Structure 1
């Protein structure tokens, strides 16, 4: 496949051999992608994983490096994103471990269930952050719009569909804005998920959280744990480097 002019090659994380091409007109990976990949719970029993909304495959590629046991299905509605994802997967020699599915998740999970498809041990998703009615910025591409706003997929769609294709006590890991936390909890409970881990992510100690990691389990006992906050940068506003604990998370945390 020919490299497009809008594609830019970037390293994926720090101090490793992972690289991806990103399209300047589409959603590009950021710290939320890395945190979701590294904070999601893995064990030696975790084998079948689903990523909802693969985009350029940054999350699936990074996650795959945490354990050689993982086989990842990655579903994406946008054909151009799937082409880019497959290019990146092949470039990193992961085509035997990551399978891209070009389909609408809302339709796919129904077909998957009807055909008695496999159940997933872990489902990860960096969902569209903004509600459909949120004011849309000018000059935003259609691809970016679908990746960031609830145009083709919303939070309830993700949680409802996940409940149909996940193993009992399987994990659902999400990164959402703090403003959506209550919505998330309500929807998780509605579809038999129990929120288990919550981590607030702040730019600096004195600034409000900008992201929230939420991990839930399907059909399991109650009890949520708010783990220590993650602070991305030093308190000095003139310093923009990541703190040491965040730098460590930019390397795949291997399953031991």
Structure 2
């Protein structure tokens, strides 16, 4: 174990998938958003090609690997995070199914191929670049959370460039950016087809949205039932426990 961990890194469990992931409190740890996106996105079961953009330390590709036998390409700009993801992939013996690319999401199709992928997932930076220095002193976290190196529109454009006609792109974002993401998707030939709002608990405002579009699809948006993270007892709901742990309470 020691040879795969560096500095303050630790090896955490992905319980529902029976996998392990390298994380660091000073660099990056995945959030519930990654779990939700990986479970929400359409993936081909037996074969196909998937790309995960803004892959961070590789959580979404690892989650997806439990749902599909397709090849997964993970793209992450930050070298430290990409290296952590690469070591997690190796630790889990998934080198033949997940390929890590340490590169910019902007223009990535020119390097890994235009219009050849069945599915693209993306957990992009949520917040404007302004104020990033005050909100996050750590550069790794600031880049992951703020639009310093990648805007929402650029992420959507890259996803569209990668997808085959009829391919599906799934994003996780904040409800306040709903109109922005729908506008960007339609401007890039991605027709929104499914959307789901995630709420901390009943009676609270939604704080996360999941949205999926089809490249050159016909208009027909389905709004899925709400997902509540916590119940009245402030414990995870059965649905979220199932997503995280593979079992209900």
Deviation of residue 223 (structure 1)? 1.1
1:38 maps to 39
Q: Distance in 2 between matches of 1:27 and 1:12?
A: 16
CA offsets 1:16-61 (integer angstroms, 9 cap, x no match): 4211110112231121111111111134476100000111111100
Q: TM-score, normalised by structure 1?
A: 0.90
Q: Distance in 1 between matches of 2:121 and 2:111?
A: 20
Gaps of 5+ in 1: none
- Equivalences for residues 85-164 of structure 1 within 5 A: 85-113=85-113, 119-134=116-131, 136-138=133-135, 140-164=137-161
1:5 maps to 7
In 2 relative to 1, CA 124–139 (structure 1 residues): closer, same or farther, beyond 3 Å? closer
CA offsets 1:182-218 (integer angstroms, 9 cap, x no match): 1001111111110011100001011111100011110
Q: Secondary structure of 2:80's partner?
A: helix
Correspondence 1:208 to 2:209: no
1:243 maps to 237
Query: Does the aligned pair in 2 maintain the 1:46–1:121 contact within 8 Å?
Result: no
1:65 maps to 66
Deviation of residue 109 (structure 1)? 2.1
Query: Does the aligned pair in 1 maintain the 2:170–2:212 contact within 8 Å?
Result: yes
Query: Does the aligned pair in 2 maintain the 1:71–1:98 contact within 8 Å?
Result: yes
Q: Distance in 1 between matches of 2:175 and 2:121?
A: 18
1:19 maps to 20
Gaps of 5+ in 2: none
Q: Distance in 2 between matches of 1:127 and 1:138?
A: 17
Correspondence 1:29 to 2:26: no
Q: Distance in 2 between matches of 1:250 and 1:217?
A: 27
Q: Distance in 1 between matches of 2:43 and 2:136?
A: 39
- Please provide the CA RMSD for this pair: 1.9
Q: TM-score, normalised by structure 2?
A: 0.92
CA offsets 1:149-175 (integer angstroms, 9 cap, x no match): 011111111111122120111110010
